[in-house]
A and B are shown apart, each in its own frame.
Chain A
Amino acid sequence: MSVDDEILRGLYEHTLRGHAAEVRALTEQGIARGIPPLDLLFRGLLPALQEVGRRFELREYFVPEMLVSAKALQGALALLRPLLAETGATPTGKIVMATVKGDLHDIGKNLCNIMLEGAGFTVVDLGTNVPAEAVVAAVREHRPPLVGFSAFLTTTMSMFKVNLDALARAGLRDQVRVLVGGAPVTPEFARAIGADGYAPDANSTVRLARQLLAEVRPEVETAPEGALP
C-alpha cells in the first residue's frame, strides 16, 4: 500500500471512530503530499461518513457515535474547503435547512447538514425556531431547489404544514422540493401534510435530496454516492 493510500485508509478508519486529532493530522499530511483535495474527501472522509450513516440506520451506531465522526470530519473540511473552492468543483445543489418554529432542537438537522455538505450540497442553515417568514425570505434570496425541515417534538411537527402553506402563499411552493424529518415524524405524516419526501436519518436525507434534485433538475447530473461531484 502506498503512503497516499495509507493516508486515505487512515482517514477512513479514524473518521469512522471519531478520532478528530488523527483525522486533522492525516488531512494536513495528505495536503502536504499533494493528494488532490477531492480524493481526500471522496476516497477517505465521505466513505467513512457513509459507513457511519449505514451503521446508524442499522442501529449499530447512535447519535454519540455520529457526533464524534461528524466532528472529526468537520475538522478536515475546515482544511479542505478553501482548497476545494480553488478546484472549481460544482456543488451538487443548494438546500435551505431549518428546525421549525417552536423547536430548539438542532442535533438531527446538524447531522443532516454535515452529511449533505460532505455529499457536495451547499447548505444554507437557518438554525432553530425558524418562523415561516424567514424560510420564505431565504428561498427568495437563495433560490434553492430543496428545502428541509426538522422537528423533534410531536408538539412542533405541525409547523411543517405552516411552512408549506407559507411557501404556497408566496408562490414558491412549485419551485422547491420539501423534505421533512425528525424523531416523531413518519412517512405517512409527511405525505398527509404535502411534503415531497421524508427521511428518517442523515444518510437517508442525502439519498432523498439527490433523488428530489434529479426530479426538479433533470438536466443536472447528480453524482452517485461516493463518486466525485
Chain B
Amino acid sequence: MGRMTSKARFLAALAGQPVDRPPAASIVSVATYELMDLAGPHFPEANVEPEPMATLAAAAHERLGFDSVMPIFSIAQEAVALGCEVDWSESTMMPNPATHPWADRSAPIRLPDGFPDAFLEDTYVRCAVEAIRLLKRHFGDRVMILGKVMGPWTLSYHLYDVQEFLYDTLMDPDRVRRSLDTLQAVPLVFAKAQLEAGADAIVWADHATGDLVRNTMYRDFLLPYHQALVPQVPAPVILHCCGPTLDRIQFFREAGFAAFHFESQVPPAAALAETQGKLRLAGNINNPVTLFARGPAEVRAEAQRAIDAGIHIIAPECAVPLQTPLRNLREIVQTCEANRTR
C-alpha cells in the first residue's frame, strides 16, 4: 500500500478500512510545556487567542508527527459561553469551570438569551472556531483536523455542578432530564460551526464514566440523546469518556458514534470485543504512569500492545499532563511508523 496522507490514514482508520500504518492521534490534547517551548505559544494565550491556539495545535503534527491536530485543549469553551466563570489566566493549568449557575436550585434551567447567535459570538467559542479555520488554511487536506464539543452530560456537570447533578440523578431525575434537554442543542451548534470552519471530525466528550455512575445510567439518561444528536452531525463523531467504561461499550456502540476514545483502565482486546464491529477504537496509552513517568521503551511496548490488539487509532488516553516528556509522545508516532505495511 502506498503512503497515505495523515488525513486519509485517520479517516480510513475511522471507517475501519485498510491503512498503510496505524494513525497516531492527538484526540483530546497533547499540549505540554516542552511542546509550548518548541512551538512558541504557551498557556494562557494558546487557550484564548486563535493564532497561538492553532500554532500549538499544529505542533502536534509538525513537531511530533501525530496524524491529527486538536486545537481545543481545555473543556471550558462552552461552559464560559453559557455562564460559568472560568479563570483563563493560568499558564500552568488547564482552565476549568469554577462556578455553576444551575447549582442554585432556584435558578431556571435555560440557555442564555440569544442562543445560538450569542453563543457563537462568545470570545472563547469564536477563538476555537477561528483556530480551526487557521489550521484548515495551513494544512488543507494533508492533516486530520479534529474539533471538540462537550455533550449534554458533561455540560450538565459544568452548569449544574458534578455533585449536585449526580445527586439529582437519583433524587430529582426530572431536573436531570430538563438539564439534558436544554443542553442538547449546544454540542450540535458548536460542532456544526467547527465543521464549517474546516474540522474533519468531532470529538464528543460526555463523561458518563464508570468512575461516577453505573452503566444503566448512561443507557437510561444519555443514550437516547446521543442516538438523536449524533446523526445530525455531518461528519464522523468520536466519543470520549474517561475511566472504566468496558461495561458501557455495549451501549456506546448503539449510539451512532464512528469511534470511541477510551482509557488504559479498559483492556484493548476486551474493548474491541465489546464493540462487535460497530465502533472503531482510539486510545489508550496510559498517561499518569507510562507517558508521564516512564520512558520510550515502555511507551513503545504499550502502543504495540494496542496495535496488536487491533485498536484502530493509537493515542494518549486523555489530555496528557503538561509535564509529559516529548520523547514519550514521539514514541507513539514512531511505534505506529514501525508498523507500516511493507
Given A154-B288, A186-B288, A189-B288: A67 and B211 interface contact (C-beta under 8 Å): no
Q: Are A102 and B242 in contact (CB under 8 A)?
A: no
Q: How many A-B residue pairs have CB under 8 A?
A: 88
Given A183-B243, A184-B287: A68 and B321 interface contact (C-beta under 8 Å): no
CB distance from A34 to the nearest CB of B (A): 32
Q: Which of B243-297 contact A (CB under 8 A)?
A: 243, 287-289, 292-293
* A157: B residues at CB distance < 8 A: 288, 321
* A188: B residues at CB distance < 8 A: 289
A106 to B157, CA, bound (A): 12
Partner of B93 from A18, A68, A101 at Cβ < 8 Å: A101
* B288: A residues at CB distance < 8 A: 154, 157, 184-186, 189
A122 within 8 A of B: no
Q: Are B93 and A189 in contact (CB under 8 A)?
A: no
How extensive is the interface on chain A, given as a class? 20 to 34
Partner of A189 from B167, B212, B293 at Cβ < 8 Å: B293
Q: Are A68 and B212 in contact (CB under 8 A)?
A: no
Extra A-B contacts (6), CB below 8 Å, given A67-B163, A105-B162: A18-B170, A63-B211, A64-B166, A102-B92, A154-B318, A154-B321
CB distance from A152 to the nearest CB of B (A): 9
A192 within 8 A of B: yes
A107 to B169, CA, bound (A): 15
Task: Using CB atoms and an 8 Å cutoff, list the residues of chain A in contact with chain B.
Answer: 18, 59, 62-65, 67-68, 71, 101-107, 110, 129, 153-158, 183-186, 188-189, 192
21 pairs of residues in contact across A and B, judged by CB atoms under 8 Å: A63-B166, A63-B211, A64-B170, A67-B163, A67-B167, A103-B96, A107-B163, A129-B98, A154-B292, A154-B317, A154-B318, A154-B319, A155-B93, A155-B94, A157-B288, A158-B292, A183-B211, A184-B242, A184-B288, A186-B289, A188-B289
CB distance from A182 to the nearest CB of B (A): 9
How extensive is the interface on chain B, given as a class? 35 or more
* B90: A residues at CB distance < 8 A: 102
Report whether over half of chain A's contact residues are helix, strand or loop; otherwise say mixed: loop
Q: Are B163 and A183 in contact (CB under 8 A)?
A: no
A155 to B92, CA, bound (A): 10
Q: Are B213 and A62 in contact (CB under 8 A)?
A: yes
Closest partner residue, chain A, to B162 (CB atom)? A107
Partner of A158 from B163, B169, B319, B321 at Cβ < 8 Å: B321
Q: Are A155 and B322 in contact (CB under 8 A)?
A: yes
A105 to B98, CA, bound (A): 10
Report whether over half of chain B's contact residues are helix, strand or loop; otherwise say mixed: loop
A105 to B92, CA, bound (A): 17
* B289: A residues at CB distance < 8 A: 186, 188-189, 192
Partner of A67 from B94, B97, B166, B217 at Cβ < 8 Å: B166
* A65: B residues at CB distance < 8 A: 170
Q: Which of B319-336 contact A (CB under 8 A)?
A: 319-323
A101 to B96, CA, bound (A): 12
* B92: A residues at CB distance < 8 A: 102
B171 within 8 A of A: yes
Q: Are B214 and A62 in contact (CB under 8 A)?
A: yes
Q: Are B98 and A155 in contact (CB under 8 A)?
A: no
CB distance from B342 to the nearest CB of A (A): 36
Given A155-B320, A189-B288: A102 and B93 interface contact (C-beta under 8 Å): yes
* A18: B residues at CB distance < 8 A: 170-171
A105 to B94, CA, bound (A): 13
* B93: A residues at CB distance < 8 A: 101-102, 155-156
Q: Are B94 and A153 in contact (CB under 8 A)?
A: yes
* B292: A residues at CB distance < 8 A: 154, 158
